[in-house]
């Protein structure tokens, strides 16, 4: 009976989505144009002199690779689906020449799970991971600065950097530019920046209003529309739909990452010092439970949390002891 109810729900969602989407720009997966919503593939060789790009390197996993972004001498962030089977090492690249390889001694990852929304959009939730190297990275490696949650807005310029298999065989670091933040959705940034296999765990750099390129997202998964078991991705023609490729919004998890780092070796990374503010701790509470949705007023109210007392009051929403309404949030903010 439960299976029948689930089948009816999924089938109904698929039918509803088929009516909503204009399938003119959809096609069955094609390796060459996968992940970009223009008529030609815009990806080009990355330039390590450009902001942030020297922080992206190749994560070696069993039987293949992903990408990873260095945030400290022995710390990198990547995608959960890249580390769930125990990553092996990070191979460092400079000017697209392969350099030293340093083995990984430990890794952590979010509760990586695949969801199908009511609009039949498939996505990965909490698809972020952290790895610790056995020894420090080469001294010439740069570290990415993680953006703060209030620095990300729809419309900001963006670029994705990684090692895709379908451009130069994954042996060269590639950048996809001339794209932007399209939408903030659940724990993700949706962007029309190109991604594909091998790029997972790489960077989505966002040009913030401070005038700096900062790490806003980690490459997760291509936009996928599933209809009756067949998967389609947008390619070719102008970008018109409100959804796009999915990048984990790493700012949501920066507090948890900072705590992981300090608990493991008591290190406090310069790029994460600001991440332990009460607003960010409040935001990361959304990811500590299977939160079905995050509403605008909840995010706005988190930004107003300024004290341990307020944070403890808000935490009751996540423990299920208080109903998360706007009025209850305001009551928490009024506490001293």
pLDDT higher than 60, residue 4: no
In this predicted structure, the answer to whether residue 185 has a pLDDT above a threshold of 60 is yes
Residues of the chain with pLDDT > 70, as a percent, come to 71
What does the pLDDT read at residue 224? 55
Stretch 251-262: mean pLDDT, rounded? 86
Is the pLDDT at 243 greater than 70? The verdict is: no
Quick check: 2 pLDDT over 60? no
pLDDT tens digits, one per residue of 316-327: 877 777 777 778
According to the per-residue pLDDT averaged within each range, which of 148-152, 227-231, 278-282 is highest?
148-152
For residue 18, the model assigns a pLDDT of 28
State residue 327's pLDDT score: 83
pLDDT at 100 over 90: yes
User: Three-state SS string across the chain, please?
Assistant: CHHHHHHHHHHHHHHHHHHHCCHHHEEECCCCCCCCCCCCCCCEECCCCCCCHHHEEEEEECCEEEEEEEEECCEEEECHHHHCCCCCEEEEEECCEEEEEEEEEEEEECCCEEEECCCCEEEEECCCEEEEECCCCCCCCCCCCECCHHHCCCCCEEEEEECCCCCHHHCCCEEEEEEEEEEEECCEEEECCCCCCCCCCCEEEEECCCCCEEEEEEEEECCEEEECCEEEEECCCCCCCCCCEEEEEHHHHHHHHHHHHHHHHCCCCHHHHHHHCHHHHHHHHHHCCCCCCCCHHHHHHHCCCCCHHHHHHHHHHHHCCCCCCHHHHHHHHCCC
How high is the pLDDT of residue 122? 62
What pLDDT shows up at residue 145?
Answer: 93
Question: Model confidence over 39-98: pLDDT tens digits?
Answer: 456 788 999 999 999 999 999 998 899 999 999 999 999 999 999 878 999 999 999 999
Higher pLDDT among residues 37 and 113, named by residue: 113
- Give residue 5's pLDDT: 37
| pLDDT given at position 237 | 38
Q: Please tell me which residue, 168 or 249, carries the higher pLDDT value.
A: 249
């Amino acid at each position: 009976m439960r299976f029948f109810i689930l089948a009816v729900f999924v089938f109904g969602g698929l039918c509803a989505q088929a009516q909503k989407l204009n399938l003119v720009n959809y096609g069955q997966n094609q390796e060459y144009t996968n992940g970009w919503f223009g008529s030609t593939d815009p990806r080009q060789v990355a330039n390590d002199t450009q902001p942030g790009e020297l922080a992206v390197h190749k994560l070696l996993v069993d039987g293949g690779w992903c990408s990873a972004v260095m945030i400290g001498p022995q710390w990198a962030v990547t995608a959960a689906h890249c580390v769930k089977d125990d990553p092996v090492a990070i191979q460092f690249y400079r000017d697209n020449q392969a350099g030293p390889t340093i083995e990984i001694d430990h890794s952590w990852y979010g509760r990586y799970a695949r969801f199908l929304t009511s609009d039949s959009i498939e996505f990965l939730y909490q698809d972020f991971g952290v790895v610790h190297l056995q020894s420090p990275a080469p001294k010439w490696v740069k570290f990415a600065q993680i953006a703060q949650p209030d620095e990300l807005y729809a419309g900001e310029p963006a670029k994705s950097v990684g090692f895709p298999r379908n451009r130069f065989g994954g042996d060269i670091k590639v950048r996809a530019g001339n794209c932007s933040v399209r939408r903030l959705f659940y724990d993700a940034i949706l962007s029309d920046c190109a991604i594909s296999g091998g790029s997972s765990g790489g960077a989505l750099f966002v040009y913030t209003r401070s005038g700096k390129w900062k790490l806003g997202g980690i490459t997760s998964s291509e936009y996928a529309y599933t209809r009756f078991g067949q998967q389609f991705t947008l390619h070719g023609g102008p970008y018109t739909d409100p959804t796009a490729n999915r990048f984990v919004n790493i700012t949501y998890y920066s507090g948890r990452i900072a705590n992981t780092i300090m608990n493991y070796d008591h290190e406090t990374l310069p790029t994460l010092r600001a991440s332990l503010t009460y607003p960010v701790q409040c935001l990361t509470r959304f990811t500590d439970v299977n939160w079905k949705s995050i509403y605008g007023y909840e995010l706005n109210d988190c930004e107003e949390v300024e004290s341990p007392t307020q944070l403890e009051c808000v935490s009751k929403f996540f423990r299920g002891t208080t109903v998360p309404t706007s009025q209850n949030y305001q009551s928490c903010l009024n506490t001293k």
